[in-house]
Structure 1
């Protein structure tokens, strides 16, 4: 049964990558939903030690909470990045005000071309 779930998860990974490649904004929304779910688990876990390493130690509980926080924040950033890469034009001005980007750095190639002139 474990092999079946492993293969199923591998398939799900490929399907998710396909979705990400073709519909980044929608995939980003799914990542945001997953991140919020992980945040809820990390902050409002239903029972003590639900993600612990099995020995019920304080270290295991702290570690599992820390990993949940890190994973949820990382997933949130990935989701926002994917949404940004395929953002509908009608959202762009508000998005850029909320998440301003630094000015683009000149590329190495353009610096080389300037030096050659």
Structure 2
């Protein structure tokens, strides 16, 4: 897998998503652009705290910010999410391959490589 961003960008994105409020913010702005005030109103923390979460998400490339007059509007950044999804898809694919191998081994089935060689 090749990431288009700096090598530690994926690690930074995963660390950012470890915080539940940041995941909730991404859900809020996944389908619509929202102003910072409306995002902050969805949480029982200070606007300053929400602003810090927005900054982290923007810094790691998961959020886009657009200014409209004095308002700041936020929306998920598809490219940042695509990098994260690619990593998770690769991880999930490897886990499924491992699980399949374990099930086949327990069932006494030949390994996938042996099946290909035999055909």
User: TM-score surpassing 0.5?
Assistant: no
Q: Relative contact order (alpha carbons < 8 A, sep ≥ 6): 1 or 2 greater? A: 1
- Normalising by structure 2, what TM-score? 0.31
